[in-house]
Amino acid sequence: MITVDKAKLIIEKYINILDIEKIELKNSGNRVLAEDILANFPSPLFDNSAMDGFAVRSSDLSGAKHSSPIQLKLIGISSAGSPTDIIVREGQCVQCMTGAKIPAGADSIIMVENTSGFDNNVVQFFSETSIGNNIRKKGEEVEKGTTLILKGTRITPSEIGILATFGYGSVSVYKRPKIAIFGTGDELVEPGNDLDHGQIYNSNLYVFSDLVKKSGSELIIKKVIKDDKDSLKSFLNTALEECDIIISSGGVSMGKHDYVRDVFIELGVKEQFWKVAQKPGKPLFFGTRNSSLIFGLPGNPVSSYIGFMIWVWPVLIQMMGESEDLSVTAILREKFPLENQKHRYLFGKAWYEENTLVCKPTTKLGSHMLLSSKNANCIIEASKGDNYLELGTRVQINLLPWKIIK
C-alpha cells in the first residue's frame, strides 16, 4: 500500500497530452483549445453608432435646447450592414441606426429621443452634443493582434461567441480521450428492471458515463460483465486495443470473484500500484499497457464516485491540454473525521461567508451512502491523523466543476 502523494506522482509520469485536430466551430462546445486565439481585426471594426439616432457635426448643435431647437437637413441613412458614402457637411445630418458605420464628416450621434424624429427631411434637435458622443470607436474593445482566448481553455458558450465574432469557422482542439467503463458482478441489474433477492441496481456506470461526458471525453464502451473470467478477458482485449483509458467499477478488492486485477495482468497490463492509503477507496488499481491507462476503482458507490473525481478526472483534463486546477482551500465550519493511517476524503458543501470560503463535510460517512453526494459541491480531503480536524482549520477541497458555490 502506497501513499496518496506517491500514487499521484506515479500516475503523472504516464499522462500524455493527446494529438490536435481541426473541427468546425459548431462542434467545438466543451472541447479544449490547442491554440491561442488572436483578434485578426480590431473590435469594433469601424466607428459605429451606439444608438438609433442621427450622425451630426457637434459644432452645428451649439446652443440647441427644447425652447430653441436647431434644424439640420437630413441627407441620407446609414444602417448596420448598409453604410453610406455621404459626407456630412455644415447644417446636415444623416439618420444612423445602432451598429451603423459613422459617415464621414460626423463626429457625434444624437439619439432620436432628443429630436423631432425620423419622419421629416428637416430634423429639429433639442440638445447640444459633444465630440464622440454615442460613438463606439474602432478598436476600443480589442485591438488587432490581441490574445482573445488562451490555449488550454475549455470552450463554453462565451468562447463560442468570441470565436464567431472574430470569424473563426473552425478551431484547433485537443482530441478527446477514448474511454471504456465497465462493472462486474452477477448482482448488478439495470435500472428499470425488477430486483431479485441479493441484487442491486447498476448505479456506478451511470455516474461514470455522466462524468466522462462532463469531462469532454468520448465514451466508447460501457458494459456490465457477469462474474465470468472469460467474458471479462474478451471485453478487456477489445477495450485495451480501442481506448486510451479503461475504468472498472469493482472487481479489484480481495473477494472470491474480484479477479479484474488478475485479468489485467494476464493481458499484459503492467501494474504500477495496487492499494492506496486512503479512505474511501483503498483497493485502487493503476496500470499501463502501451499508451493505455487502466484504473480499477472500488465498487462501493461513494468510493467509485470520489475515486473517479480524485484520480481519473485530473488525468482526462490533462490529456486534453486543460490547465484548470479545481483544488482550493477553505475553512471548516464543522469537525472533519480523520483516519490515523489513511488520507481521508468526504463529500462536502462549500459556501462563502463574508468573502471567505468555508466548508463542512457530509454526515453520511459510509462508502455505500451515495446520498452523501446529493447536495455536495466539493470533496474535502485531509492527511492522516488522530480524531478530528477542529472548526476553523483550513483544509484542501476539490471543487465539483458543474456545481455552484454561493
Q: Any idea what the CATH number is for the domain that residue 258 is in? A: 3.40.980.10
Q: pLDDT value at position 368?
A: 61
Chain segment 220-277, per-residue pLDDT in tens? 999 988 777 888 899 999 999 999 999 999 766 655 556 788 889 999 999 999 999 9
Could you tell me which residues come within 8 angstroms of residue 380 by beta carbon, excluding any fewer than 6 positions away?
330, 336, 345, 346, 347, 348, 359, 361, 395, 396, 397, 398
Q: pLDDT value at position 229?
A: 84
Q: What is the CATH number of the domain that holds 359?
A: 2.40.340.10
Burial degree of 167 (CB within 10 A; 0-12, 13-18, 19+): exposed
**284 and 179 in one domain?**
yes
| Boundary-marking domain end, from 136, 164, 197 | 136
Within-domain flag for 144: no
The residue written with cell numbers 472487481 in the block is 251
Q: pLDDT value at position 259?
A: 77
Within-domain flag for 352: yes
Q: Which three cell numbers stand for residue 48?
A: 459605429
Angstrom distances, CA of residue 320 to CA of 32, 151, 156, 254, 379? 6, 11, 15, 34, 23
Chain segment 3-31, per-residue pLDDT in tens? 999 999 999 999 999 999 999 999 999 99
Q: pLDDT value at position 27?
A: 97
**217 and 71 in one domain?**
no
Chain segment 127-179, per-residue pLDDT in tens? 999 999 999 999 999 999 999 999 999 999 999 999 999 999 999 999 999 99
* Burial profile 392-401: b = 16 or more Cβ within 10 angstroms, e = fewer: eeebebbbbe
Range of the domain at 349: 327-399
Within-domain flag for 143: no
CA atoms within 13 A on the CB side of 307: 30
Chain segment 319-352, per-residue pLDDT in tens? 999 977 889 999 999 999 999 999 999 999 999 9
Q: pLDDT value at position 248?
A: 93
**264 and 191 in one domain?**
yes
Within-domain flag for 266: yes
pTM over 0.85? The answer is: yes
Within-domain flag for 145: no
**161 and 26 in one domain?**
yes
Q: What pairing do the DSSP bridges indicate for beta strands 270-274 and 285-289? A: antiparallel
| Boundary-marking domain end, from 319, 346, 366 | 319
Q: Taking 60 as the threshold, does the pLDDT of residue 367 lie above it? A: no
Q: Which three cell numbers stand for residue 207?
A: 455516474
Count of domains for the chain: 4
**285 and 165 in one domain?**
no
Query: What is the spatial distance between Cα 284 and Cα 345, in angstroms, rounded to a whole number?
Result: 14
**160 and 119 in one domain?**
no
Within-domain flag for 406: no
Within-domain flag for 351: yes
Within-domain flag for 405: no
Signed CA dihedral, 76, 79, 82, 83: sign only: positive
